[in-house]
Amino acid sequence: MKKYAALFIIVLFFLSCGKLKGEFAFQTPDDKCYRVNQSRLAFDSSQEIKWVYRFESAPSGRINLGVIILKKELSWVDILTTSDYIDSLKGMIYGTLKDLEPGDYKIVITEITIDGNRIIDEIELYLYSDQEEMD
């Protein structure tokens, strides 16, 4: 019985090590550096918002990624899809949100594989207009 418990723990360890993880951070024109935000993200739609996704650990080989920006309409609608990669030297990906209408948005990071795409992480944010800010 102890053998099976030890084997189970080893298998869980190796499965968890293989998953890509990281965190988003954002920078507005008023910020001097990127900020990691834990609460609801809301930004002025008239400003250029820079974002970065930093992976916790760099992979040994190149991993192809997809970056999808979605807008909430009746359902989530793709408005921008790009590709990127990470490897042992590049552990971050960057992007910019600009010239977008006010509304709810989602940034989705995926791993592109032969078998299809796997979602690594996603984050929702809200872009508001100047009129909403004054109300």
- What is the number of structural domains in the chain? 1
Q: First CA to last CA across the chain, in angstroms?
A: 64
Is residue 1 a part of any domain in this protein?
no
- Residue 38 is predicted with a pLDDT of 61
Q: How far is C-alpha 19 from the geometric centre of its chain's CA atoms?
A: 14
Domain that holds residue 47: 20-134
Tens digit of each residue's pLDDT (9 = 90 or more) over 8-27? 444 444 444 457 899 999 99
Is residue 102 a part of any domain in this protein?
yes
Tens digit of each residue's pLDDT (9 = 90 or more) over 15-66? 444 578 999 999 999 888 888 866 779 999 999 999 999 999 888 899 999 9
For the domain that residue 25 is a member of, what is the CATH number? 2.60.40.10
